[in-house]
Amino acid sequence: MNQLLDENYYSTNDLSLTTTLSLWYPIEEINRSNPRKAFFIFRKTPELEKLIDQYFRNEIKVSPQVYFNQLRVIKARLYANE
């Protein structure tokens, strides 16, 4: 599920999308208000929106090692405050 917070931020709970986006854009915040689902928040820019579209059109190519390492970083950040 993806949702638009307001005109300045983009939020998603899709871990794969988050991992991909975070290779180019920092995660601004992790919203853990729902104990079963975290939402990752990015600052919305035209470039971010283009990257999201490319992600869903399967147009992004990333090294598997780079992707996996970024996924580990995100998971460590996600579970660090538990």
Helix, strand, coil percentages (3-state) for the chain, rounded to 5, are 40, 25, 30
Q: What dihedral do alpha carbons 47, 51, 52, 53 form, nearest 10°?
A: 100
Q: What does the pLDDT read at residue 65?
A: 98
Residue 1 has pLDDT above 70, yes or no: no
Residue of 13 and 3 predicted with greater confidence: 13
Average pLDDT, the chain: 92
On whether the pTM is more than 0.85, the answer is yes
